[in-house]
Amino acid sequence: MRSNLRNLPLFVILVAVSGLMMYVPAMHALTLHQHEVARPFFYTGTLLLFVFMLLSLATVANRRGPRERSSLLTMVGAFTVMPLILAIPFHEVMRDTSLFNAWWEMVSAFTTTGGTLYSPARLPPSLHLWRAMVGWSGGYFMLVMTIAVLAPLRVGGFEIFFAGGPGGEVKDVNLRGSQRGVVSRDRLVDFALQLLPVYAGLTGALWVLLRISGEDNLIALCAAMSTLATSGILPTSSLASGQNSVLTEVIIFVFFLPALSRRFWPGDGEMRATKQLRDDPELRLAAMIVFLTVVVLFFRHWMAALDTDNHPGLLVVLRTIWGGCLPRFPS
């Protein structure tokens, strides 16, 4: 499997993955008896797999080694062309919207921005699932490309990291599977296969925990994918439908912690800014930002309460502080 993947361009692989992903909302819509939603996903996914077969036959016969900056050009194509491909079934389902709006929606999801042009009630459940899946896959794609491409090329902030940025140690590391200006396919495939079980496993674990806390099945799944991808995509306006909202918030808060520092990423210690966990500058910065945000939000509400006769009690104060610590899900 690895040898076959190494022989194909990354963009061709993305086309195949996109086609396979479309079968998931198609089956989901079919279980809800929404055939008008299932058909565009099924037909588009089948067409993409056919295109993948043609592109594979055309590229395998004309093998070329990795070229300088080719991975960066693939990233540009992934964030411009791929959202257009992903927007085809979305546009076919939402016939009252333009292709540009559908493309913009997929750009927002794939880049894990999480913004949307539509109210939650306007979209069918399968489209909410599709938006969350696109955001989840975009987060995974960006994580793989960051480790496998941006780090060895010393771009995207890594030029500061490896030069010993603020609070960091000077890195003199020759990242495996990379040459000057060129990233090998072996490195890309290895990290992709290494990250997928962890990324999918954490998503599945969070999904199960959210279901145990009382969340709806679709909301729990979308929240799990959106938490790991940090996209914040939900099929509802909030995440308060569960029986124990505090437990749900605590679970999500815990699963956000790995996103605070690159020291938790794979790479045999290549991504560690410091040897000790307590000296990690990214964790310190995250803690400082959370603390200052909580303090500002708390005093803002507290100053507003001074103008009224109803002064908040201790329980209300604690809830306000806890609410300031939590990330918000835009929808």
Closest to 15 in 3D by CA, of 58, 68, 61: 58
pLDDT above 50 (res 259):
yes
Residue at 172 is within a domain? yes
Is residue 286 assigned to a domain?
yes
Residue 97 has what pLDDT?
87
Predicted pLDDT of residue 329: 46
Task: Give me the half-sphere count of Cα atoms (radius 13 Å) on the Cβ side of residue 318.
Answer: 4
For residue 178, the model assigns a pLDDT of 55
Average pLDDT over residues 63-83: 76
* pLDDT confidence of residue 331: 37
Beta bridge partners of 178: 183
Query: Higher-confidence residue: 184 or 202?
Result: 202
Report whether pLDDT(173) > 70: no
Name the least confident of 44-53, 112-121, 128-137, 296-305. 296-305
Dist CA 316 CA 321 (whole Å)? 9
Q: Which of 28-32, 97-101, 224-228, 313-317 has the highest mean pLDDT?
A: 28-32
Nearest to 118 by CA among 130, 220, 138: 130
pLDDT of 187 reads 75
* Best CA proximity match to 26, nearest among 133, 135, 126: 126
Query: Rounded to an integer, what is the distance from CA 123 to the centroid of its chain?
Result: 21
What is the domain count for the chain? 1
What is the extent of the structural domain holding 291?
2-297
At 170, is the pLDDT very low, low, confident or very high (cuts 50, 70, 90)? very low
**CB within 8 Å of 271: residues ≥ 6 apart:** 147, 151, 262, 263, 265
Mean pLDDT in residue range 19-37: 95
Residue 271 predicted with pLDDT over 90: no
123: alpha, beta or left? (left if phi > 0; alpha if psi -120 to 50): beta
Q: Which is more confidently placed, 134 or 240?
A: 134
Task: Name which of 36-50, 51-65, 75-89, 123-137 the model is least confident about.
Answer: 51-65
In a domain, 77, yes or no: yes
Distance CA 331, CA 327 (A): 13
State the DSSP code for 147. I
Asked if pLDDT for residue 268 goes beyond 60, the answer is no
Lowest mean pLDDT among 46-55, 60-69, 279-288, 321-330: 321-330
Residue 314 domain-assigned?
A: no
Is 328 within a domain?
no
207 belongs to a structural domain: yes
Report the range of poorest mean pLDDT among 75-84, 89-98, 246-255, 270-279. Answer: 270-279
Alpha-carbon torsion 186, 173, 287, 110, what sign? Answer: negative
Q: Would you say residue 203 lies in a domain?
A: yes
- Mean pLDDT comparison of 42-51, 110-119, 156-165, 171-180, highest-scoring range: 42-51
Share of the chain above pLDDT 90, in %: 31
- Position 330 in a domain: no
When pLDDT is cut at 50, 70 and 90, the band that residue 225 belongs to is very high
